[in-house]
Amino acid sequence: MKGFLLIAIVVAAFAAVPLVVHSNVTLNFLVVALLIALAGQGWNVLGGYGGQYSFGHAAFFGTGAYVTAVLQMRYGVNAWIGFAAGIAAGSAVGAIVGTLAFRAGLRSSYFALVTLAFAEVLRILASVAPITGAGVGMLIKLDLRAQSFQFQSRALFYLVILALVAVALVTAQMLERSRFGAWLIAVRENEDAAMALGVDAFSIKLGAMVLSAAITAAAGGFYAQYFLFVDAGIAYGTWISIEALLTPVIGGVGTVFGPLVGALAAKSLGEGAKLVTGDVPGLDLMIYGAMLVLVIRFVPHGIVGAFADVSDRIKRRVLAARAPAREAVHG
Amino acid sequence: MWQPKMSLNRRRFLATTALGAAAAATGSLAMTSVLLAQGAAVKLGVLHPVTGALSYSGQQGRLGATMAIADINAAGGIKSLRGTKIDAILGDAQSTPQGGTAEVEKMNAAGAAGIVGGYASSICLAVSQAAARYNLPYVVDVGVADSIVKRGLKNTFRFGPGFGVIAKTALDNLVAINDQAGKPAKTVIIVHEDSLFGSGLAKLLNAQLPAKGFQILDTIAHPTPTRDFSTIVLKIKARNPDLVIPANYYNEYVLLARTMREQHVRLKGIYSVLGGAASSYKFVHDFPEAARYIMDCNHWFNPHSEKALALKKKVEAGGHYFTYEVYMNYSAVELIADAFERAASTDRDKVIAALASSTFSGHIMPYGPTKFVDGQNQGAAPVNTQVLDNDIKVVMPPQFANAKPVFPMPA
């Protein structure tokens, strides 16, 4: 319950932001950060909890984005239904990629490369297929009405993406507490040992892949509605695979809040670097890159992981301090 | 030994992160990339992709826009606003649509009276929509996708030509040049980058070239960036076309042209439509052999305009090349400054109305009379250029030409 309570507090705090902050600059910043956090949480389910490091989450992000856009613009489907269909389609792509990769017994770097290859194949297909607008991309018509999943106010977009992040946080928390999650972590720690204990590693990994894909596809669908334009480079480009991977790495792989903390830290770092560098082109990106290297070098378990490490160290010291006292009493 | 350093770096990291988060929470991010207003200056958003894959073009665009602002200010500012100066709010789209959108938010929060720039069509699309939310006047500098001005956005204007006009002009001029030379070219290969610009153009050419008597042997797409054209050039060599039509950005164009030269691909011509490098002095200067005789239908300045030639001299004196990004941004800023002048106000509705009814003249572009219909300047048109004698000459249309086309190109 402690975990869910913490999620409720964090989400409530974020939900209160539009009440005190009216700057669209800030809201846009937070929307993008939460969007990346959502994609990162998708990656975290599979990579963090399942130990299956994907380099191709763009495949799910792009499918979510394209299905949302194509259904609206080509078939006149309502945007919300298109968004739901995008999540379903992203999950389906996850199921296909997962079935093929896990059935073939691909692990670690081989799995990473295969996911990257799938994303690239989809990018190339999207850049030539007429239904996706080929290289021209898909432009969603500006229609600032709630029923079109478009809002005049950035605050409403912010609340929608916050709700999606909240669902993803609850999902991760449930994963940590569920039997499925325990099996998934067992597979991550030692797949052969887990299988020897009767865990169906294939089904568990596939389930995690589908869940991971669904969350990332939701981020893709939201991207399409927020920016109203997708093309192959945006939807299936490596940028989102990297962002989805980086945020949990910075925040803490395999932790509930890791992707959220990582996304906020990374985006704040980027903006902080801009504040420092002013208008010198690229200097902010150089500082951002250097800081990332430092974080990865000196905080290998991510920000949340570092806090957990410190907390563990304190607990151990307290226990160690108590032990001689106990021995003295009993001795 | 490194332990204390590690702890210091971590603190620094957290401090920087906290600074960014705090800045975000208070809305002070609006102040990033902002040249603060001096008095009651007119604030103009100057938005380009100055980092990322399109950074060269973006930086050139920024150069043109800031030079125009400096010239306008030096000439007395906006006279109908009692000589009010223009202050640039510089923004970096980081070569992505989402980067462009974020900058629009900052510019709007900083009180911009308008925005100029975008460069790539995908960025222009995102920027125009974000600006439309605030009824913020937006002048597209380069982005040529027709959809930019065909969505009914009242705030968006493009002074330069769009895809449709460029493709039609390019095809008409190609047919005219080929006919004049006795129709030596019959077969074509199109090499295009795979985003909005290249693919859109390839689609148009595929639809229209066959009707003009050309056979398209192949259409080859490549991503941006691409750093090796060997396979593509081998493919071209194997199909042996009369013409190659490249549609890509600067780096890829240069690499493609150089690789074709290195592999001795024999062609009757390289005819670009919006060729990223074909109308670039940098390309001609750096790779004169590869650039020789290349033809391009592209944005260009009026070679008979004294003002354009003076600007060219000034840009080159600063150690920069006079690329199309420079003079298109220069012109876009002049256009919106003219609108401020006509509106005698920075009120967004009034500026948009002034842009919509603009008859802006005295500019440096080879265009007809300025008249906007649904945000598109009807007088805008590209010209045909050719690399001749290590220089870029205008060869079509006759009223702006300063040389005659050389076609087919000598072996």
Q: How far apart are CA B41 and CA B111, in angstroms?
A: 11
For A88-98, letters b (16+ CB in 10 Å) and e give ebbbbbbbebb
Asked if A69 and A89 count as a contact pair (C-beta separation under 8 A), the reply is: no
Mean pLDDT value across residues B316-342:
95
A48-57, A302-311, B195-204, range with the lowest pLDDT:
B195-204
B contacts of A285 (beta carbons < 8 Å):
51, 94
Q: Is residue A315 part of a domain?
A: no
Mean pLDDT value across residues A291-311:
82
Is the Cβ pair B29, A29 closer than 8 Å?
A: yes
Q: Is the pLDDT of residue B10 over 90?
A: no
pLDDT tens for residues B135-161? Answer: 999 999 999 888 899 888 999 999 999
Of A24, A134, A279, the CB nearest to B203: A134
Q: What is the pLDDT of residue B36?
A: 36
Of A28, A234, A294, the CB nearest to B13: A294
Q: For this complex, say whether ipTM is above 0.95.
A: no
Is the Cβ pair B125, A142 closer than 8 Å?
A: no
Our CA angle for A125, A129, A132, nearest 5°, is: 100
Q: How far apart are CA B141 and CA B328, in angstroms?
A: 6
Cα dihedral A239/A243/A244/A249 (nearest 10): 140
A30-39, A72-81, B41-50, B195-204, range with the lowest pLDDT:
B195-204
Nearest residue to B73 (alpha-carbon basis) of B33, B51, B43, B31: B43
Q: How far apart are CA B361 and CA B352, in angstroms?
A: 18
Q: How confident is the model at residue B349 (pLDDT cuts 50, 70, 90)?
A: very high
Q: What is the pLDDT of residue B251?
A: 85
Q: Which amino acid is at A294?
A: L
Nearest residue to B91 (alpha-carbon basis) of B136, B25, B46: B46
- Chain B: residue nearest A289 by CA? B13
Q: Is residue A75 part of a domain?
A: yes
Q: Is the pLDDT of residue A168 over 60?
A: yes
Beta-strand pair B383-388/B391-396: antiparallel
The CA distance from B189 to the nearest CA of chain A, in Å, is: 17
Q: Is residue A326 part of a domain?
A: no
Q: What is the pLDDT of residue A134?
A: 76
Between residues A262 and A287, the one the model is more confident about: A262
Q: How confident is the model at residue B186 (pLDDT cuts 50, 70, 90)?
A: very high
Is the Cβ pair A135, B153 closer than 8 Å?
A: no
Q: How far apart are CA A49 and CA B221, in angstroms?
A: 39
Q: How far apart are CA A216 and CA A210, in angstroms?
A: 10
Which distant-in-sequence residues (6+ apart) come within 8 Å of A5 by Cβ? none
Q: How far apart are CA B73 and CA A35, in angstroms?
A: 41
Q: Is residue A211 part of a domain?
A: yes
- Could you tell me what percent of chain B has a pLDDT over 90? 70
Is the Cβ pair A142, B13 closer than 8 Å?
A: no
Q: How confident is the model at residue B257 (pLDDT cuts 50, 70, 90)?
A: very high
Is the Cβ pair B147, A232 closer than 8 Å?
A: no
Query: A99 to each of A115, A183, A209, how far by Cα in Å?
Result: 12, 18, 9
Is the Cβ pair B133, A291 closer than 8 Å?
A: no
Q: How far apart are CA A176 and CA A254, in angstroms?
A: 9
Q: What is the pLDDT of residue A325?
A: 61
Q: How far apart are CA B162 and CA B400, in angstroms?
A: 19
For A294-326, letters b (16+ CB in 10 Å) and e give ebeebbebbbbbbbeeeeeeeeeeeeeeeeeee
In what helix (H) or strand (E) does residue B218 lie, and over which residues does it extend? Answer: strand B215-222
Q: How confident is the model at residue B197 (pLDDT cuts 50, 70, 90)?
A: confident
> Which domains does chain B carry?
34-161+304-380 (3.40.50.2300), 164-298+384-396 (3.40.50.2300)
A contacts of B23 (beta carbons < 8 Å):
268, 271-272, 275
Mean pLDDT value across residues A217-225:
97
Total structural domains in chain A? 1
Q: How far apart are CA A167 and CA A173, in angstroms?
A: 10
Q: Is residue A318 part of a domain?
A: no
Length of chain A in terms of residues written: 331
Strands (E), B31-186: 42-48, 86-92, 114-117, 138-140, 156-158
Mean pLDDT value across residues A150-164:
94
Q: Is residue A325 part of a domain?
A: no
Nearest residue to A122 (alpha-carbon basis) of A234, A226, A214: A234
Three-class SS state of A149: coil
A contacts of B106 (beta carbons < 8 Å):
25
Mean pLDDT value across residues A108-129:
91
Is the Cβ pair B202, A271 closer than 8 Å?
A: no
Q: How far apart are CA B173 and CA B175, in angstroms?
A: 5
In chain B, count of helices (H) and strands (E)? Answer: 13, 14
- Could you tell me what percent of chain A has a pLDDT over 90? 62
The CA distance from B317 to the nearest CA of chain A, in Å, is: 22
Of B19, B96, B196, the CB nearest to A135: B196
Q: Is the pLDDT of residue B128 over 90?
A: yes
Is the Cβ pair B122, A231 closer than 8 Å?
A: yes
DSSP label at A81? H
The CA distance from A217 to the nearest CA of chain B, in Å, is: 18
Is the Cβ pair A29, B133 closer than 8 Å?
A: no
Is the Cβ pair A229, B126 closer than 8 Å?
A: yes
- Chain B: residue nearest A265 by CA? B17
Q: How far apart are the first and last CA of chain B?
A: 67
Is the Cβ pair A25, B55 closer than 8 Å?
A: no
Count contacts between A and B (CB, < 8 Å): 160
DSSP label at B84? B
Q: How confident is the model at residue B56 (pLDDT cuts 50, 70, 90)?
A: confident
Q: Find which of B95, B122, B146 to mutate to test the A interface (most A CBs within 10 Å of its CB).
A: B122
Strands (E), A72-219: 138-139
Query: B274 to each of A98, A180, A329, B121, B185, how far by Cα in Å?
Result: 43, 56, 87, 13, 20
Q: What is the pLDDT of residue A315?
A: 84
Q: What is the pLDDT of residue A141?
A: 86
Nearest residue to B169 (alpha-carbon basis) of B272, B18, B32: B272
A contacts of B91 (beta carbons < 8 Å):
none
Q: How far apart are CA A51 and CA A191, in angstroms?
A: 10
Asked if A148 and A157 count as a contact pair (C-beta separation under 8 A), the reply is: no
Q: Is the pLDDT of residue B31 over 60?
A: no
Q: What is the pLDDT of residue A292?
A: 77
Phi, psi at A47, each rounded to 5°:
-80, -40
Q: How far apart are CA B357 and CA A227, in angstroms?
A: 30
Which CATH number characterizes residue A105's domain? 1.10.3470
Is the Cβ pair B133, A281 closer than 8 Å?
A: no
The CA distance from A259 to the nearest CA of chain B, in Å, is: 15
- Work out the mean pLDDT of chain A and round it to a whole number: 90
Q: What is the pLDDT of residue B22?
A: 46
Q: Is residue A306 part of a domain?
A: no
Q: Is residue A322 part of a domain?
A: no
A contacts of B126 (beta carbons < 8 Å):
227-229
B contacts of A144 (beta carbons < 8 Å):
133
Asked if A40 and A247 count as a contact pair (C-beta separation under 8 A), the reply is: yes
DSSP label at A230? E
Q: How far apart are CA B335 and CA A38, in angstroms?
A: 42
Q: Is the pLDDT of residue A329 over 60?
A: no
C-alpha A170 chain-centroid distance: 13
Q: How confident is the model at residue B14 (pLDDT cuts 50, 70, 90)?
A: very low
Domain that holds residue A24: 2-300
Q: How confident is the model at residue B357 (pLDDT cuts 50, 70, 90)?
A: very high
Is the Cβ pair B102, A29 closer than 8 Å?
A: yes
Is the Cβ pair A274, B145 closer than 8 Å?
A: no
Asked if B331 and B365 count as a contact pair (C-beta separation under 8 A), the reply is: yes
Q: How confident is the model at residue A283 (pLDDT cuts 50, 70, 90)?
A: confident
- Chain A: residue nearest B59 by CA? A281
- Chain B: residue nearest A138 by CA? B196
Q: Is the pLDDT of residue B30 over 70?
A: no
The CA distance from B122 to the nearest CA of chain A, in Å, is: 8
Q: What is the pLDDT of residue A279?
A: 65
Asked if B68 and B116 count as a contact pair (C-beta separation under 8 A), the reply is: no
Cα dihedral B158/B163/B164/B170 (nearest 10): 120
Mean pLDDT value across residues B271-286:
85
pLDDT tens for residues B62-100? Answer: 999 999 999 999 999 999 999 999 999 999 998 888 899
- Chain B: residue nearest A126 by CA? B194
Is the Cβ pair B151, A141 closer than 8 Å?
A: yes
Is the Cβ pair B126, A227 closer than 8 Å?
A: yes
Nearest residue to B179 (alpha-carbon basis) of B408, B411, B409, B410: B408
Asked if B198 and B192 count as a contact pair (C-beta separation under 8 A), the reply is: yes
Which distant-in-sequence residues (6+ apart) come within 8 Å of B62 by Cβ? B46, B48, B50, B90, B117, B329
Q: What is the pLDDT of residue A153?
A: 87
